[in-house]
Amino acid sequence: MKHAIAVDIGGTKTSVVLMDSDFKTYSQVDFPTPRDYEDASEKIRKTVENLDPKGNLPIGIALCGLLSRDNKELLLAPNLSWKNLSLKELFHWIDGDFKVVNDGTAAAWASYILGGKKDYRLLSVTFGTGVGGGLVMYGNLILGAGELGHIKLDPQGAACGCGSRGCLETFAGGRHLPSRALEWEGLNVETACELGKLANDGSEAALRCFKKMGSIAGYALAGVVNLNGIGTISIGGGLANASGHFFMDSLKESLKENLMVPDKQNPTIHFSQSKRNMSLMGAGAVVINPPPNLQT
The per-residue pLDDT for 237 is 87
Question: Beta 66-67 vs 98-102: how paired, if at all?
Answer: unpaired
Mean pLDDT score of the chain, rounded to an integer? 93
Q: Is the pLDDT of residue 131 over 70?
A: yes
Residues spanned by the domain of 73: 3-107+276-294
Domain match, 260 and 133 both = yes
Give per-residue pLDDT as tens, 6-15.
Answer: 999 999 999 9
Domain match, 43 and 102 both = yes
Q: Nearest to residue 224, comparing CAs of 129, 134, 112, 114?
A: 134
CB 20 within 8 A of CB 1: yes
The per-residue pLDDT for 273 is 52
CB 219 within 8 A of CB 254: yes
Per the structure, the count of domains in the chain is 2
Domain match, 162 and 266 both = yes
The per-residue pLDDT for 258 is 96
SS3 23: coil
Domain match, 162 and 263 both = yes
- Give the residue-averaged pLDDT of 132-149: 89
Q: Any idea what the CATH number is for the domain that residue 33 is in?
A: 3.30.420.40
Q: Is the pLDDT of residue 225 over 90?
A: yes
- Give the residue-averaged pLDDT of 256-278: 85
Q: d(Cα 151, Cα 153) in Å, to the nearest integer? A: 6
The per-residue pLDDT for 146 is 79
Domain match, 44 and 184 both = no
120 or 204: whose pLDDT is higher?
204
Domain match, 56 and 132 both = no
Domain match, 133 and 186 both = yes
The per-residue pLDDT for 145 is 79
Q: Nearest to residue 136, comparing CAs of 128, 125, 152?
A: 125
Give per-residue pLDDT as tens, 164-176.
Answer: 999 999 999 999 9
Domain match, 97 and 152 both = no
Q: d(Cα 292, Cα 135) in Å, to the nearest integer? A: 14
Q: Is the pLDDT of residue 242 over 90?
A: no
Domain match, 122 and 267 both = yes
Domain match, 39 and 147 both = no
Q: Is the pLDDT of residue 214 over 90?
A: yes
Domain match, 204 and 96 both = no
Domain match, 58 and 165 both = no
Give per-residue pLDDT as tens, 65-118.
Answer: 999 988 899 999 999 999 999 999 999 999 988 999 999 999 999 999 988 777
Give per-residue pLDDT as tens, 17-67.
Answer: 999 999 999 999 999 999 999 999 999 999 999 999 999 999 999 999 999
